[in-house]
């Protein structure tokens, strides 16, 4: 999701949302200052505090979706799953077409869903709805910041957003045990992407291995590794570990 976070930040980095012809505008200097405090917050907790302050002090603000989206991204940086869900859902309450929230929730929910969760299918269904909604609205999204994002680049960004949505659908099917459907979604993610994501190859390799297709799994994991694999917080690379598992089973 790194590319998603990067492009969301670029789209909003100058509060272009406040000056866009069809977008909301601050009603006072104090509201603008509160928005800038969110944008310029020094760390994730400060960003969340600034967002909550805006919503408390300006209850009629037209920037509720923006504030919650920024707090969602901050919660993601903190690896705070519960607050991420709250802020993401609040974002969509105020703007059901907000692509950043749709894609973030569609990705994070299946990643955090475990096999024996009592509400597993409920969570996966919700994530599926988010991913499918993203696929509907992404093609309709106009360039949010033409001054900084050339139109041709924006088209490539939208391709990567579509790829992220298909990757999330692949994760959802994988968590359901539908490995063939998962592989199909991961392939679509890879095919549509302007910049292929090594994580899509990694998860496709996982699904292929579960299906007993070890040769195809090895090809997929090699593609993941060639793109950088899936680095972990402890310095290891999950793609390298998966390759060892595949080769050990051959």
Least confident window among 63-72, 86-95, 138-147, 229-238: 138-147
Give the separation between CA 226 and CA 119, rounded to whole angstroms.
Answer: 37
Cα(first)–Cα(last) distance of the chain, in Å?
A: 32
Per-residue pLDDT tens over the stretch 105-116: 999 999 999 999
How far apart, in whole angstroms, are the C-alpha atoms of residue 104 and residue 176? 19
The domain segmentation of the chain, as residue ranges, is 1-11+24-95
CA gyration radius, the chain: 19
C-beta separation of 87 from 71 below 8 A: yes
Confidence of residue 8 (pLDDT cuts 50, 70, 90): low
User: Among 198, 192, 201, 200, which residue's Cα sits nearest to residue 159?
Assistant: 192
> Quick check: 16 pLDDT over 50?
no
Which residue reads 């950043």 in tokens? 100
What pLDDT, in 10s, does the model give residues 200-224? 999 999 999 999 999 999 999 999 9
Q: Report the sign of the C-alpha dihedral through residues 172, 174, 179, 180, in that order.
A: positive
226/124 Cα distance (integer angstroms): 30
- Residue percentage of the chain with pLDDT more than 70: 91
CATH topology of domain 1-11+24-95: 1.25.40
pLDDT (0 to 100) of residue 19: 43
Residue 145, classed as helix, strand or coil, is coil
pLDDT tens sequence across 149-202? 899 999 999 999 999 999 999 999 999 999 999 999 999 999 999 999 999 999
**What span, in angstroms and rounded, lies between the C-alpha atoms of 181 and 227?**
24
Question: Computed from CA positions of residues 226, 198, 163, 145, in that sequence, does the dihedral angle turn out positive or negative?
Answer: negative
Q: Which residues pair with 231 in a beta bridge?
A: 237
Q: Are 90 and 98 in contact (CB under 8 A)?
A: no
Percent of the chain whose pLDDT exceeds 90: 86
Let me know: does 175 contact 196? Beta carbons within 8 Å: no
* Average pLDDT score over residue span 63-75: 96
Stretch 79-88: mean pLDDT, rounded?
97
**Angle at the Cα of 149 from the Cα atoms of 107 and 15, rounded to 5 degrees:** 80
């Amino acid at each position: 999701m790194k590319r998603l976070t990067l492009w969301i930040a670029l789209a909003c980095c100058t509060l272009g949302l406040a000056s866009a012809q069809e977008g909301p505008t601050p009603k006072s200097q104090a509201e603008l200052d509160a928005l800038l405090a969110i944008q310029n917050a020094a760390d994730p907790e400060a960003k969340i505090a600034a967002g909550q302050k805006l919503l408390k002090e300006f209850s009629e603000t037209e920037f509720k979706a923006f504030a919650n989206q920024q707090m969602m991204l901050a919660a993601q940086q903190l690896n705070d799953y519960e607050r991420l869900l709250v802020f993401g859902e609040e974002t969509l309450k105020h703007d059901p077409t907000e692509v950043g929230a749709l894609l973030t929730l569609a990705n994070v929910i299946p990643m955090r869903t475990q096999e024996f969760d009592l509400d597993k299918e409920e969570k996966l269904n919700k994530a599926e709805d988010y991913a499918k909604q993203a696929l509907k609205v992404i093609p309709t999204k106009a360039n949010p910041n033409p001054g900084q994002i050339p139109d041709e680049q924006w088209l490539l960004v939208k391709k990567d957003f579509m790829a992220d949505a298909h990757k999330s659908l692949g994760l959802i099917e994988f968590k359901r045990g539908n490995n063939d459907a998962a592989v199909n979604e991961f392939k679509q993610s890879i095919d549509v992407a302007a910049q292929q994501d090594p994580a899509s190859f990694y998860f496709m390799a996982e699904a292929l291995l579960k299906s007993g297709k070890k040769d195809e799994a090895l090809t997929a994991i090699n593609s993941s590794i060639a793109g950088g694999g899936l680095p972990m917080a402890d310095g290891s690379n999950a793609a390298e570990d998966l390759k060892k598992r595949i080769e050990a089973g051959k």
